[in-house]
């Protein structure tokens, strides 16, 4: 088994000394070519003219720009390198999705059971620890596997090499299964990237001059897990910020589980004040209804005003829930209007996640697909989210896009 040293994130940065020196301040930030290219694709109009007029501006860090798992459009998510890239684009807040290992150590991974698509575990000595072994494609059935952080120790986790999140469903071998990267992403920056624990992410993000938005991921194992309860899990996430001396005002802890949010509000009120409820109402008709399915009590969702009464101050739905199309224009949705009326701060996720916009943009743009016919619509959407919906931040898989807009429009 190949053992990787358990270096702290600052030690890892020594491998890229320019990053450690440059990103601790706001010098040396760069938008790269993407914002200008997106602007060039826009239809003529006042917004395009205004954005073009900012072409000579100096990039500055903005909390409005949030790195979604770093910069995974081109870098393996939740790696040191992905987050260094996001910080270099001016992302003021960076994300570590948090799950736990067999020995209940917190690590950065989008799901507890995604190791088979985000690391090389299936072609490593740890393949036999997977909950579901690799099964090759056969007939109409795709290749499958499932590998969990909760089935390996932290020491074993450290031996894994991250890769772009993908799998080749047609694979006959575990080696072939490592492919399948979407054609709008790349493996160019995948080699030699570095996996992180949650504690290391705190150290790294602080060194990069960024703030923090960890997401407590839902376990796929039954809780309590060997005595480790959901409350223990939620508390340990907060405790790692307290141990690092990070002020609560720099942390926006997220969860899809409302009980986690309410736990933080009650037990860690300073952190709970900025806790972000990731709302999974995914249909327009779910906008502000208490019970989505009258026959299923598990679908209960508090109204916006009820959330506010519970002490929730931040809500984060997917992009398409915040906007709709009216008379051929992108406008705020009923959902957004009601959340704003309740006094909730809104954060949108996730820009540049589901592919190019010249053919509708995919999953994240489903409510505006009728007007999504070129990549320039990215900035039309960002403008409506910022100016009309009034979001306080936008997650992006390539933060330079949002940073450029925030800098141009004077957003913090």
**Strand partners of residue 144:** 135
Domain extents in the chain:
9-113+193-409
Structure confidence at residue 93 (pLDDT): 98
Q: Within 13 Å and on the Cβ side, how many CA atoms surround 72? A: 29
- Which secondary-structure segment (H or E) carries 67? strand 62-67
Structure confidence at residue 295 (pLDDT): 40
Structure confidence at residue 15 (pLDDT): 43
How far, in Å, CA of 171 to CA of 88, rounded? Answer: 36
Which tokens hold the place of 316?
A: 């984060």
How far, in Å, CA of 269 to CA of 290, rounded? Answer: 25
Q: What is the pTM of this model?
A: 0.93
pLDDT along the chain (412 residues), means of 10: 46 43 62 98 98 98 98 98 98 98 98 98 98 98 98 98 98 98 94 97 98 98 98 99 98 98 98 97 63 48 94 97 97 96 98 92 95 97 98 98 98 94
Which residues lie closer than 8 Å to 280 by C-beta, 6 or more apart? 256
Fold of the 9-113+193-409 domain: TIM Barrel (3.20.20)
User: Three-class SS of residue 48?
Assistant: helix
Structure confidence at residue 237 (pLDDT): 99
Structure confidence at residue 283 (pLDDT): 82
How far, in Å, CA of 300 to CA of 141, rounded? Answer: 35
271 and 238 Cβ atoms separated by less than 8 Å: yes
Which phi and psi angles does 384 have, rounded to 5°? -65, -45
Q: Are strands 314-316 and 91-94 parallel, antiparallel or unpaired?
A: unpaired
Structure confidence at residue 322 (pLDDT): 97
């Amino acid at each position: 088994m190949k053992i990787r040293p358990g270096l702290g994130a600052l030690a890892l940065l020594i491998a890229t000394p320019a990053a450690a020196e440059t990103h601790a301040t706001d010098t040396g930030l760069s938008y790269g070519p993407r914002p200008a290219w997106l602007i060039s694709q826009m239809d003529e109009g006042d917004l395009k003219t205004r954005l073009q007029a900012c072409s000579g501006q100096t990039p500055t860090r903005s909390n409005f720009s949030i790195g979604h798992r770093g910069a995974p459009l081109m870098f393996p998510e939740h790696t040191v390198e992905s987050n260094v890239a996001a910080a270099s684009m001016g992302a003021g807040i960076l994300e570590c999705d948090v799950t736990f290992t067999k020995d209940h150590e917190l690590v950065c991974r989008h799901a507890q059971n995604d190791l088979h698509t985000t690391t090389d575990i299936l072609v490593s000595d740890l393949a036999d620890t997977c909950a579901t072994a690799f099964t090759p494609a056969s007939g109409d059935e795709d290749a499958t596997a499932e590998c969990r952080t909760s089935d390996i120790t932290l020491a074993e986790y450290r031996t894994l090499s991250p890769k772009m999140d993908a799998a080749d469903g047609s694979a006959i071998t575990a080696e072939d299964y490592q492919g399948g990267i979407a054609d709008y992403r790349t493996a160019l920056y995948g080699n030699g990237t570095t996996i992180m624990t949650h504690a290391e992410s705190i150290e790294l993000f602080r060194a990069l001059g960024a703030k923090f938005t960890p997401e407590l991921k839902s376990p796929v194992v039954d809780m309590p897990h060997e005595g480790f309860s959901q409350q223990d899990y939620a508390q340990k996430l907060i405790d790692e910020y307290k141990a690092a001396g990070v002020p609560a005002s720099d942390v926006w802890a997220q969860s899809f589980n409302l009980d986690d949010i309410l736990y933080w509000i009650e037990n860690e009120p300073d952190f709970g004040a900025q806790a972000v409820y990731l709302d999974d109402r995914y249909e327009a008709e779910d906008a502000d209804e208490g019970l989505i399915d009258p026959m299923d009590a598990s679908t209960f969702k508090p109204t916006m005003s009820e959330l506010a009464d519970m002490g929730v101050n931040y809500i984060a739905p997917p992009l398409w829930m915040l906007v709709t199309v009216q008379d051929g224009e992108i406008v705020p949705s009923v959902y957004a209007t009601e959340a704003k009326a309740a006094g909730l701060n809104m954060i949108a996720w996730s820009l540049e996640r589901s592919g190019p916009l010249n053919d509708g943009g995919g999953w994240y743009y489903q409510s505006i697909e009728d007007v999504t016919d070129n990549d320039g619509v990215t900035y039309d959407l960002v403008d409506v989210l910022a100016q009309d919906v009034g979001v306080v931040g936008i997650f992006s898989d390539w933060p330079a896009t949002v940073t450029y807009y925030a800098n141009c429009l004077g957003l913090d």
